[in-house]
Structure 1
Amino acid sequence: MDETDRAFETLAVTAGEEPFGTGSEAGDVISPLHLASTFALPGLDTDLSLEDVDPDAGEFVYSRLSNPTRHALETRLAALEGGDHAMAFSSGTAAIFTAILSVVEPGDHVVAFDDLYAGTRRMLEEVFETRLDVDVTFVDATETTAVEAAVTDETAFVWMETPTNPRLELCDIAAIAEIADRANATFGVDNTFASPYFQRPLELGADVVAHSATKYLNGHSDAVGGAVITSDEALAEQVQFNQQVGVGDMLAPFDSYLVLRGLKTLPMRMRQHERNAAAIADYLEGHEAVTDVYYPGLESHPQHDLACEQMDGFGGILSFELAGDVDDAASFLEALKEFTLAVSVGGVESLIELPAGMTHEPLSQAEREELGITDTLIRVSAGVEATDDLLADLERGFDAIAQRSAPIAEDD
């Protein structure tokens, strides 16, 4: 059956895995973990070239080039994003770097969302601009006109992240795809926060999609990985060359196995992540100690209508602004029991962090202020626990702030 005939939930469980198929001669119902670094050849073929090796036919030579476990994962990732090709990397950063490196050359120009994950922004500034002579313009991509105004004749790549980290801002994927197409520029989207369950940028006109597979795709905070997905044959060929040879960066078999396993429960996990995030956002929006809540599912979100148009759901991540100072934020975070104070998102456990002092600390204070990342902005990755337990934990945090600010009774 053609994969386009099957529902997302079915593809998440079965795409890329067939009992008695590639690498599963024993009839394994899940892909075996293939740890081999090299594979025996049936004989010496003087006409053999690496380009002739076909993993879909069970042909493997060396695990840097292709591995049965990684191949199964890449097949599933392509199916879930609606692409023809997927390449798995050792991290999301490696995936994004390789995607951009596969397109731009010295002297080229890149247009990027200003509210990118700090690691991606530093990569563009300190590697591509400083070392590779690539000009980068950061724009407020919530305004499509700002993206259009920034594009020049030298623009080779447009890089967006939607929703963004940490303020959950959105950009209009379809509209920006048209701008990039007119400029003959490659358009890439970091789809980590939404996951392919809630958003599929390739269907909206993007040329390439990237993920930190560490997050929702794996979903259990026990593997680090990244992915690039595209239907552009030429781009796929270049990304794959860089994955295998130019950079030599690929996802190890064990991590591939873990992400492949995690994808089986992606649909049900995302539904519970969203339910908890929506309940938390509603609770916070009505709390007197909170000044702002950033979650695309709220009608108060400035791009709520756009989220309804281009997403199938609103995801499991939100951020909010505490009324108070950084010491109040510390008291709040340190009082929590169910939420773990840690970076990263997308695991089954609920995580919480202070971007200004954690994920986005590498940015200068001026850069953070320009992006609205204050010392009291808190990011939440809602897990799959019971909603009431999470809400009660947040109340514990607010009680800690209240106790901190309560006047100290004087002795008689």
Structure 2
Amino acid sequence: MNLDFSPEGFGSHAIHSTSIANGENAHLFPIVASSTFVFDSAEQGMRRFSGEEKGFIYSRFGNPTTAAAAGVIAGLETFNIKDKEGKQLQAGALLHASGQSAMATMLLSNLSAGDGILSHYSLYGGTHEFIYGFLAKLGISSVIEDFSDLNKVEDILKKHAHIKLIHVETPANPTMNCVDLAGICTLAKRYNAKVTVDNTFATPYLQQPFKFGVDFIFHSTTKFLNGHGTSIGGVLVGKDAEFMKKKGYETYKLLGGCASPFDAYLLMQGVRTLEVRMKQHCENAMQVANFLSGHPAIEKVNYNGLSSHPDHALSSKQMRHAGAVMSFELKQGLEGGKQFINNLKMCTKAVSLGTVDTLISHPASMSHSGMLREDRIKSGVTDGLIRMSVGLENINDLLNDIDQALKK
């Protein structure tokens, strides 16, 4: 999204990129709730379909509101990042009906039968199922490895020349493991593979993967970008704008995963407060993590903001802050975890994350329930693991609710 001034701050860019020019001079970009768009003439319709003339045709192909929202996220992911020529990086973006849909477009526009994808343990359950289950039916093979050892990653790339894509989730769901983006991108370039990153947990405010050489970024915009739990959505952002206009767009259009203009509008409203929300989310999360790590009922806390987390140093290097999501295990295991969840009074018992209220879930029986238990355990999702997305409540109220739930 191009502005006619150059803001120094991320928040300024987020606010003013959502107030872009529109035909009615509305302060905020309006909802264009139309399935189709009118041509002035038969000739104009022909020119639009042939690509000779720019313009909207049908909302599955593109819509003013969804295009504006996609441009906003692309602008945030590329904020203050220069291309090889020293100019502002211009990425392409496509807004989808869900994060899962954005991921599908990303994978299917880059991979064909005979190709391979390399990824790591500890992924969102839906991602794991899609990569290791669905893609296999299309003749696309998958390899899983521990990305904490880049030598192992390079060994796999040497042995499997058919690997065309390396998929990364950092921080990973729900162990908060982090991946060295610069190191992975160096290897990918050496072995002619592209790198994709799920940046949902971090948001572009905390982490900008394009800085490290990543090719594609996607988000479930449902989470922190929207921030209020009011809609489902996803976005795919590609550093190669031409690829996004052609192969990426054609895949997106044919899969039919277009976003609703209503959801796009809600997304743009959420983005306006992204910086201030993330600051408070992160401040609260750090205090909650410290509280849990010192509590006698807690066996383990997975939060990369803690010095005890194995990826604390890496997280500090490539992220502005560790974020607002963590997971933990109680000493009483699964039964203790269930009792803890049932005892909560203020925290919300629900899946998803990134809303203004604190959300508590049980990954093994919820978000990761579609995985084989063996794969789930290898990914760090044990039977008793609890995931928490820390919200914006008063920190004393939040700690009091957690403390009383642990004591009962």
TM-score, normalization: structure 2? 0.92
Question: CA contact under 8 A between 2:99 and 2:235: conserved in structure 1?
Answer: yes
Q: Percent identity?
A: 35
Please tell me whether residue 241 in structure 1 is matched to residue 239 in structure 2.
no
Deviation at 1:45, TM superposition (A): 2.4
Partner of 2:151: 145
Partner of 1:406: none
Question: CA contact under 8 A between 2:122 and 2:380: conserved in structure 1?
Answer: no
Higher RCO by CA contacts (8 Å cutoff, separation 6 or greater): 2
Deviation at 1:232, TM superposition (A): 0.8
* Gapped regions of structure 1 (runs ≥ 5): 401-412
Displacement over 3 Å in runs of 4+: 1-6
Distance 2:307 2:314 in 1: 11
Please tell me whether residue 117 in structure 1 is matched to residue 124 in structure 2.
yes
Partner deviation per Cα, 1:227-286 (whole Å, 9 max, x = no partner): 000121343121111112x21211111111111111111111101110111000000111
Partner of 1:410: none
Partner of 1:351: 359
Distance 1:274 1:316 in 2: 5
Distance 1:242 1:100 in 2: 10
Deviation at 1:16, TM superposition (A): 4.9
Deviation at 1:6, TM superposition (A): 4.3
- Residue 129 of structure 2 aligns to a residue in which SS? helix
Larger deviation, residues 332-341 vs 355-364: 355-364
Partner of 2:279: 271
* Gapped regions of structure 2 (runs ≥ 5): 79-89
Deviation at 1:42, TM superposition (A): 2.6
Distance 1:204 1:7 in 2: 20
For residue 125 of structure 1, what is the amino acid of its counterpart?
Y
Partner of 2:64: 68
**Aligned-CA RMSD value:** 1.5
Distance 2:233 2:163 in 1: 29
Distance 2:111 2:61 in 1: 23
Distance 1:208 1:2 in 2: 26
Partner deviation per Cα, 1:52-111 (whole Å, 9 max, x = no partner): 343xxxx32221111111111011011000152110101100100110100011000110
2:301 to 273, 293, 302: 293
- Residue 49 of structure 1 aligns to a residue in which SS? helix
Structure possessing the higher radius of gyration over alpha carbons: 1
Partner of 2:27: 29
Distance 2:171 2:53 in 1: 38
Distance 1:2 1:184 in 2: 37
Partner of 1:48: 47
1:306 to 310, 314, 330: 314
Partner of 1:405: none
For residue 121 of structure 1, what is the amino acid of its counterpart?
H
TM-score, normalization: structure 1? 0.92
Deviation at 1:311, TM superposition (A): 0.6
Larger deviation, residues 232-241 vs 197-206: 232-241
Distance 2:184 2:95 in 1: 26
1:77 to 73, 79, 86: 73
Deviation at 1:144, TM superposition (A): 2.1
Evaluate the alpha carbon distance shift between residue 347 and residue 53 of structure 1 in structure 2; reply closer, same or farther with a 3 A threshold. Answer: farther
Larger deviation, residues 194-203 vs 141-150: 141-150
Matches within 5 A, 1:330-341: 330-341=338-349
- Residue 333 of structure 1 aligns to a residue in which SS? helix
Distance 1:175 1:285 in 2: 30
Distance 1:235 1:286 in 2: 49
Larger deviation, residues 222-231 vs 146-155: 146-155
Distance 2:215 2:41 in 1: 40
For residue 113 of structure 2, what is the amino acid of its counterpart?
P
For residue 309 of structure 1, what is the amino acid of its counterpart?
K
Partner deviation per Cα, 1:191-244 (whole Å, 9 max, x = no partner): 000011100101111000010011011111110010000121343121111112
For residue 146 of structure 1, what is the amino acid of its counterpart?
K
Distance 1:268 1:224 in 2: 22
Please tell me whether residue 101 in structure 1 is matched to residue 112 in structure 2.
no
2:289 to 269, 281, 306: 281
Deviation at 1:147, TM superposition (A): 2.0
Distance 2:301 2:333 in 1: 17
- Residue 42 of structure 2 aligns to a residue in which SS? coil
For residue 231 of structure 1, what is the amino acid of its counterpart?
K
Please tell me whether residue 366 in structure 1 is matched to residue 374 in structure 2.
yes
Deviation at 1:5, TM superposition (A): 4.7
Distance 1:368 1:62 in 2: 41
Question: CA contact under 8 A between 1:325 and 1:376: conserved in structure 2?
Answer: yes
For residue 62 of structure 2, what is the amino acid of its counterpart?
S
Aligned residues: 390
Partner of 2:219: 211
Deviation at 1:358, TM superposition (A): 1.2
Distance 1:335 1:175 in 2: 43
Distance 1:303 1:111 in 2: 20
